[in-house]
Amino acid sequence: MAEHREQSEFNYAVSFLNRINFLFWECGNCSREMNAHGWFSALATIRREMSDDMSDTELIASNVFMNDINAKVNQPRPRNQALSGMQEISSDLYNNLDSFEIFLRKIIKKAGYKTKVKDDPRFAQ
């Protein structure tokens, strides 16, 4: 039987949405800069934030994305890239990061975070 807890009068939805918004902004910046580590880190954080809104199937799929991308992100860069500071991502890694981001965006939409509400938010429950 589920434990009953008193509900707080405080709601962290606005701060949650601000964090998600910032993280997607960071994803956009990192993808433009070809910064695979930053992009992956932002996506991993979004995944953690969204984990309680994911089904078991979605969690498993996100784990597959994470493991696949992590292996590619952590491959050593050629010495000339490391010395020059160049940011280069293989097309395969870029496509994996992009697909993972789209996957997470669809979960957010399905969870209702992008739903337009016509009611006055001051009276939301």
What is the pLDDT confidence band of residue 78, given thresholds at 50, 70 and 90? low
Contact 104, 43 (CB under 8 A): yes
Cα–Cα distance measured from residue 36 to residue 16, given in angstroms and rounded to the nearest whole number = 24
At 33-42, the pLDDT tens digits run 999 999 999 9
Percent share of the chain, pLDDT over 70 = 78
Nearest to 29 by CA among 18, 42, 48: 42
C-alpha angle 4-14-108 in degrees, rounded to nearest 5: 85
Q: Quote the pTM value.
A: 0.78
In the prediction, which pLDDT does 120 show? 58
CA dihedral 22, 28, 33, 36 (to 10 degrees): 80
State the Cα–Cα distance between residues 60 and 63, nearest whole angstrom.
5
- Does residue 113 or residue 8 have the better pLDDT? 113
In the prediction, which pLDDT does 11 show? 74
d(CA 87, CA 93): 13
Give the model's pLDDT for residue 75.
Answer: 79
* 85 — pLDDT class (breaks 50, 70, 90): very low
pLDDT, tens digit, for every residue of 21-31?
999 999 999 99
